Amino acid sequence: MKHALLFTLMLAAGAAKAGCWAPNAVEPRSNDGLPVNHASFKPLHAAMDVFEAQAKPNPGLLALPEVRLRITRAVLDSDEPTRRPREAVIHAQGFGPKTWTGSGCDIHAQAANRIGPRAGFSVFVNSPLATMNRWAHDDQLSAYLEGERGEAMQGWPVYRECAVIGPGRRLPWVPVTVGEMLAYFEREQQRGIADQDRRNERALQPFDLAAAERKAEQMRPLDAKLAELTLMSARQRKAGEAEHHAQLARVRQTLVDELEDLRRTRAAMTADQLGEPYRLGAGRHRLPTPDQPVGTMKRLVKLDPSFPWDARNRTRIQLLTVCASTHPNNPAYAQPMRDAVAALDLSRLAALLN
């Protein structure tokens, strides 16, 4: 109890100071085990240095009320190291009083991880999925829900409050087509039917009532009541077997009918229709209904297989995603964060692409 009280007092210590920067926090190792100060990571740290030089004097960040500020860095390996260079992320974020420790500008690491920041910036290096959530996946397609399109930030496209800075303003993803998505749904339906067949394989085997009756008779000299219950249960199971099997068959047929309907829908479409970007609709097979406005539907995308990633130069800077909490929950942070975004020089960051 004393330790808990001491910890509470420690977190509450100190008053808010404008522009109060805690010491930088750095993940000591990359997610594949290399030390963060590994010589090969120098280009990534140099890029993060450019952002940190903009963040530390940023007037919007410095004006955030009741926060202590902190820079956090991490170096990561790509989830496709044979295709893409390494990733990195740097955060410049403000943390509220429940994360503070001491009377200076320090932040309690565990509290910060648990509670999270109130506002700030993040820059993701070579991370094409920073603005997206995976929606569907199998061995032929990984589809992601495209982030909501926002107002351009200094001329750069914005998705999910993040400016995506790529070569020639190119995005690292492309739309998933209607044809690709319907083919995925077909494979998914086939997998569902196969799973159902595996689960029901034993249930569809004829129940051996004669064997159950022999077992009950063997039990009778030891426990006549249990033998009678066992016999009754076995006969009830056999009596209901045909209906149970019929019910399983109806469920399977429903899945098969859905698969056939999906195939008919796909076969009835023209090549142009199948080549259109797929948007999540409210109709059959998640296709749009005629009365759904295009602007209200989310688009599914996939990573662009032709994006010129350089996997040989593992620390080449090819994509930057700059995310800002421009609409934080606390209204007091809205204007400072708008000022913070305005003060960013994205052209200096864009110059890091090589």
Q: Looking at residue 16, what is its pLDDT? A: 55
SS3 16: coil
Q: Is the pTM of this model over 0.85?
A: no
Find, among 123, 138, 176, the residue nearest to 297 by Cα: 176
In whole angstroms, give the CA distance from residue 225 to residue 287.
59
Q: Looking at residue 294, what is its pLDDT? A: 79
CA distances from 107 to 57, 71, 96, 104, 112 (A): 19, 11, 9, 9, 7
Q: 63: which 2 tokens?
A: 């004006």
Decide if 315 contacts 213 (C-beta within 8 A).
no
Q: Looking at residue 326, what is its pLDDT? A: 66
Q: What is the mean pLDDT of each run of 10 residues along the chain (354 residues)?
A: 44 60 94 92 95 95 94 93 94 95 93 93 95 95 94 93 94 97 97 93 83 85 87 83 88 95 96 96 89 87 96 94 79 86 93 93
Q: Looking at residue 227, what is its pLDDT? A: 82
Decide if 182 contacts 279 (C-beta within 8 A).
no
Provide the residue count of the chain.
354
- Write b or e for each residue in 83-110: b if 16 or more Cβ atoms lie within 10 A of its Cβ, otherwise e: ebbbbbbbbbbbbbeebbbeeebbbbee
Torsions phi, psi of 306, nearest 5? -100, 0
Q: Looking at residue 217, what is its pLDDT? A: 85
Decide if 316 contacts 155 (C-beta within 8 A).
no
In whole angstroms, give the CA distance from residue 209 to residue 150.
67
| 224-267 helix and 209-219 helix, angle to the nearest 10 degrees | 160
SS3 184: helix
Secondary structure element (H or E) that encloses residue 151, with its range: strand 149-153
The domain segmentation of the chain, as residue ranges, is: 2-176+301-350, 179-276
Decide if 333 contacts 60 (C-beta within 8 A).
no
Decide if 339 contacts 351 (C-beta within 8 A).
no
Name the amino acid, one letter, at 272: D
Q: Looking at residue 9, what is its pLDDT? A: 38
Torsions phi, psi of 150, nearest 5? -120, -175
